[in-house]
Structure 1
Amino acid sequence: MKITGDLQLMKKINKYLVLDTIRHHYPISRADISVKTGLNKTTVSSLVTELIESHFVTEIGLGESSGGRKPMMLLFNQRAGYAIGVDLGVNYILAMVTDLGGTVVKEKRIEMTDWSVETVTEKLKKCIHSLIKKTPSSPYGIIGIGVGVPGLVDDQGNVLSAPNLGWTDVPLQEMLEREFDLPIAIDNEANVGALGEKEFGAGRSVSNMIYLSVGIGIGAGIILNDALYRGVSGFSGEVGHMTLAQDGPLCGCGSRGCWETFASEKALIHQAKSLQLVDEKIQVAEAIDKINLNTLLSLAKRGHRPVIDLFASTGHWLGVGITNLVNVFNPELIVIGNRMSLASEWIADSICETLNSHSLSFHRQKMNVVYAKLGMNSSAAGAASIAINRFFSAMKALSD
């Protein structure tokens, strides 16, 4: 029995290996799969047949010959199923349906003004139900839901602390599992943002990168040697709370002088309210207490000097924190995402000036700073990718 069990397990693992190879290298021939996996051609052919019967793989015709018969090329069927990815922001919910290759097919955004657990979770459930109804039919349907949350999340999907939402000990995964008969994955939004940019965006070709989610707060998803670094307790990446000034502004975490009190969207807006934003040339309809990032972006585009200077100051403080990260981790790439990336035109120069002045020269030489290729979709796409990868990884444990 043990030998039979071992053989069945090995077959599952090999099938997963073949499918994973097709997913990441299609179009591809059976012969090339054999070379990449080290499996013999007979085993590959048998497993490919099963994957075709399971709707994960299709044949798309003959490819170019390398000297012998033209090979039949295989394609991964991205539309065999769909995933839902959610970016649960401080003032918005961004949810999307992607196919199994990460292509967005449906998207929905909801603006939020009430951050109570009851209100947010109710709107989140309605949003997901709405997307499920609009998802195209497929052999496997919705295979899972991933959610990125701006806070500390444990391995059971509980939101332990989300200061900018005012949440503590919220069993979000359990709440969604009761609502949806689907696998649910909850993670920190900067972590899923890093995975989104790594898998589908600016970080596809690098092994060591840091994704900075700069919105109401600041968080980081850290990719080391192609894997997400989580730390011993799973809570790595809370870079917004590294101290830049011991006697600095009070932070929502209870400490003073945290990075996000100088360089986040929240800090930017707080400082903007002290500026005179209405003058003879530029009329701003919003009252001072309703100033938001969009207001400031609009003013900067119109050449409003105090706002442009304010963005430059924010860029400087972002550069200070990024310098610390560069000196510690020596990454190949820093990706700036979330809302502050919309201000790249006015923060980029001051970030680079600060980095060039203060980061260690050897660390800086091979490091680039870019802005999220996926734009505001990084975290939602990354959340969907977690659901997709868990779905395929589970194949190794499923019975035939």
Structure 2
Amino acid sequence: MRHHRTDAAPGSTSTLRTANQQRVLDVLRSGSAPGPTADLTGGDFTQAELARVTGLAPATVSNIVRELVASGLVETEAGSGRRGSAIRLARAAGIVGGVDFGHSHVAVAIGDLTGRLLAEERQPLEQGHAHIEALRLASSMLDAMTSKFDPAGPIRHIGLGLPAPVTNDVVRSSAIFPGWDGVNTRAAAEEHFGIPVHVENDANLGALAEHRQGVARGHDSSVFVKISSGVGAGIIIHNELFHGSGGTAGEIGHLTLDDAGPLCRCGSRGCLEAYASTGTVLAMMAGQLPDATLDDLLDAARTGNVSAQRALEDAGLHLGKGIASVVNLINPSVVVIGGDMARAGDLLLESARIGLRRHALDSVALTPILASELGERASLVGAVLLAAERTVLVVEHA
């Protein structure tokens, strides 16, 4: 359902009415007062609660709720706007999609306009896959998923995450994500999906998700470090994602820890990624645990395999050293570890905290390092949140 707003002169009654409606809609989407601290997790409100949070008069809120219910954007538990009814965004207001591409997987989800996930699915991809085949698979997965949610209508926007530097929607790394290098991902994805697509680095989406719905909620500055086949970070400063001038801020995996260290896929030596990624840890254990998966290695460590424990400890110490550079520079209030390696929990994080204390200034050496609350789903949750935020809700006025 599309709603169009007619133009009105600044300061007119119509403009004020539209602004007040938008204020109520923003609260219903975020679950809090509009502004940079809104966490976009949505929720039910009574009219009295809406009046308190928005600062609008109860009578104004009552009129707005009636208009929004009539427009199909808002629903109440009793189908009316009674003051005691629970008021929420209507499913008919629309749904959004999220797509998270990894080096060897694609995850898709649909969610409502508060950012809540309604359904999700994950499938494997070939390493080094071409972007066209990956987009084709994601599109078919979303089509199948949305067919089960007909009353909600079509997907309005899609958030899409990639494990590579992205500048102006274009992947800029032949070494890190070769099947997508030089591709204008937004244009290619919109051609496949047929709706607006918003592209972000996957670690940035993880940072957004943890900030809005996860363990970093309530912190105005945080760093999310995603450790899988690569290592990347998303940075939140003053409740906003920090992209840097070219959009590639947060490439923590390519901090140089040792000029004479192992060769990294980026072409440099001694990068953090060459010491702390999932592939590195598995390679360290290849002699003792051939063909092991990460879960196999973690099981071995938890049941007393000292070599597996040492491999995770070494990775954690290097991770802590890399994090020290970040906290010395931007002083976040919390660092969140996500991605596959977050499943290691304190087997990794305790040594990361030791590494941080060894290499950070005293004033920031005790910055908390916490496991992701959203786990491997963080980037996918962030993709849905991004799509929900970019979907503008407007009401048709007579």
CA deviation vs aligned residue, 1:41-71 (integer Å, no higher than 9, x gap): 444333222222233323347xxxxxxxx94
Q: Report if the CA contact (8 A) 1:59-1:72 is conserved.
A: no
Structure 1 distance, partners of 2:285, 2:206, is 27
Structure 1 distance, partners of 2:298, 2:321, is 22
Question: Quick check: 1:241 aligned with 2:254?
Answer: yes
> In structure 2, what is the equivalent of residue 359 of structure 1?
360
State how 1:382-397 maps to structure 2 within 5 Å: 382-391=382-391, 394-395=392-393
> In structure 2, what is the equivalent of residue 164 of structure 1?
176
CA deviation vs aligned residue, 1:254-278 (integer Å, no higher than 9, x gap): 22211111111122123222x333x
1:112 offset after TM fit, Å? 1.9
Q: Which runs of 5+ in 1 are unaligned?
A: 62-69, 278-287
**Letter in structure 2 aligned against 1:395:** L
TM-score, scaled to structure 2: 0.86
Structure 2 distance, partners of 1:344, 1:161, is 30
**Letter in structure 2 aligned against 1:133:** S
Q: Please identify, of 233-242 and 109-118, the stretch whose mean Cα deviation from structure 2 is larger.
A: 109-118
Q: Determine helix, strand or coil for the equivalent of 1:380.
A: helix
CA deviation vs aligned residue, 1:299-337 (integer Å, no higher than 9, x gap): 223322211111111111111111111211111111100
CA deviation vs aligned residue, 1:280-310 (integer Å, no higher than 9, x gap): xxxxxxxx3x343233123223322211111
**When the two structures are aligned, how many residues end up with a matched partner?**
374
1:49 to 66, 72, 81: 66
CA deviation vs aligned residue, 1:107-165 (integer Å, no higher than 9, x gap): 2111122423233233222222222223x13354322211110112233x322336333
1:177 offset after TM fit, Å? 1.2
Q: Report if the CA contact (8 A) 1:102-1:200 is conserved.
A: no
Structure 1 distance, partners of 2:90, 2:396, is 22
> In structure 1, what is the equivalent of residue 3 of structure 2?
none
Q: Determine helix, strand or coil for the equivalent of 1:361.
A: coil
Structure 2 distance, partners of 1:272, 1:259, is 18
> In structure 1, what is the equivalent of residue 39 of structure 2?
none
1:14 to 17, 20, 26: 20
CA gap of 1:32–1:291, structure 2 versus 1, over 3 A, is closer
**Letter in structure 2 aligned against 1:22:** L
Structure 1 distance, partners of 2:172, 2:70, is 43
CA gap of 1:214–1:368, structure 2 versus 1, over 3 A, is same
Structure 2 distance, partners of 1:100, 1:228, is 20
Q: Which runs of 5+ in 2 are unaligned?
A: 1-5, 33-42
Structure 2 distance, partners of 1:240, 1:218, is 4
1:2 offset after TM fit, Å? 8.7
Question: Quick check: 1:322 aligned with 2:333?
Answer: no
Structure 1 distance, partners of 2:293, 2:152, is 44
CA-based RMSD of the aligned residues comes to 2.5
1:10 offset after TM fit, Å? 4.6
**Letter in structure 2 aligned against 1:4:** A
> In structure 2, what is the equivalent of residue 379 of structure 1?
379
1:373 offset after TM fit, Å? 0.7
CA gap of 1:100–1:368, structure 2 versus 1, over 3 A, is same
1:225 offset after TM fit, Å? 1.1
Question: Quick check: 1:93 aligned with 2:106?
Answer: yes
CA gap of 1:314–1:181, structure 2 versus 1, over 3 A, is same
> In structure 2, what is the equivalent of residue 217 of structure 1?
230
> In structure 2, what is the equivalent of residue 75 of structure 1?
87
State how 1:1-400 maps to structure 2 within 5 Å: 4=9, 7=12, 8-23=14-29, 24-25=31-32, 26-60=43-77, 71-77=83-89, 79-80=91-92, 81-117=94-130, 118-134=132-148, 136-155=149-168, 157-161=169-173, 163-166=175-178, 167-273=180-286, 275-277=287-289, 288=290, 290-365=291-366, 367-391=367-391, 394-395=392-393, 400=397
Q: Determine helix, strand or coil for the equivalent of 2:122.
A: strand
Q: Determine helix, strand or coil for the equivalent of 1:222.
A: strand
Q: Report if the CA contact (8 A) 2:223-2:233 is conserved.
A: yes
1:232 offset after TM fit, Å? 1.6
Structure 2 distance, partners of 1:225, 1:101, is 21
Structure 1 distance, partners of 2:194, 2:127, is 27
1:176 offset after TM fit, Å? 1.9
Q: Please identify, of 161-170 and 22-31, the stretch whose mean Cα deviation from structure 2 is larger.
A: 22-31
Q: Please identify, of 333-342 and 93-102, the stretch whose mean Cα deviation from structure 2 is larger.
A: 93-102
CA gap of 1:305–1:374, structure 2 versus 1, over 3 A, is same
**Letter in structure 2 aligned against 1:276:** Q
Q: Report if the CA contact (8 A) 1:218-1:238 is conserved.
A: yes
1:228 offset after TM fit, Å? 0.8
| Identity between Structure 1 and Structure 2 (%) | 30
Structure 1 distance, partners of 2:297, 2:184, is 36
Structure 1 distance, partners of 2:120, 2:376, is 12
Q: Determine helix, strand or coil for the equivalent of 2:181.
A: strand
1:73 offset after TM fit, Å? 4.2
Runs of 4+ deviating beyond 6 Å: none
**Letter in structure 2 aligned against 1:205:** G
CA deviation vs aligned residue, 1:75-127 (integer Å, no higher than 9, x gap): 22363332221210111111122223333322211112242323323322222
Structure 2 distance, partners of 1:320, 1:78, is 47
Q: Determine helix, strand or coil for the equivalent of 1:210.
A: strand
Q: Determine helix, strand or coil for the equivalent of 1:254.
A: coil
Structure 1 distance, partners of 2:112, 2:336, is 24
Q: Determine helix, strand or coil for the equivalent of 1:170.
A: coil
Q: Report if the CA contact (8 A) 2:203-2:225 is conserved.
A: yes
TM-score, scaled to structure 1: 0.85
